[in-house]
Amino acid sequence: MMVLTGTLLVSACGTAPSRATRVAFDGIYFRASAKHVNKKATPSEFTVTVNGVSQSFDGAREAARYEGTKFCIQNFGSSRIVWKVGPDTEPQNLRIEKDKLTYAGRCQRP
């Protein structure tokens, strides 16, 4: 039983980002996630959601850019993105609901 518990504890270590790998934006660690819009039909299209935009608007915007770039590098090997709604979108045109900022874009292949 102890071996099983130890194995589960060790295997869980890789699932959460450590303090050493987390990146702060404007001094704040934002929870952000990127996901495919429709992986089968349009695999390069994705959305990024950042929680806690009220803590720092500028920080949340940069956290979303970072998460989108990371997503494209991991999935397509390139940091090139065509944003539909993104870092260069005018603030009044951004999608913010329930303290969450959402970007949308398309990864470009290298």
Residue 61 has pLDDT above 90, yes or no: yes
Provide the residue ranges of all domains of the chain, joining segments of one domain with +.
24-107
Residue 96 has pLDDT above 60, yes or no: yes
Encoding tokens for residue 80? 């090139």
For position 3, what pLDDT does the model report?
A: 44
The pLDDT confidence band at residue 75, using thresholds 50, 70 and 90, is very high
DSSP string, 36-87: EEETTTEEEEEEEEEE-GGG-HHHHHHHHHHHHHHHHHHHHS---EEEEEST
C-alpha to C-alpha distance for 55 and 43, rounded to whole angstroms: 32
Shortest CA distance to 50 belongs to which of 73, 79, 75, 70? 70
Eight-class DSSP state of 105: E
Does the predicted model carry a pTM greater than 0.85?
A: no
Cα-atom radius of gyration of the chain, to the nearest Å?
16
The pLDDT confidence band at residue 12, using thresholds 50, 70 and 90, is very low
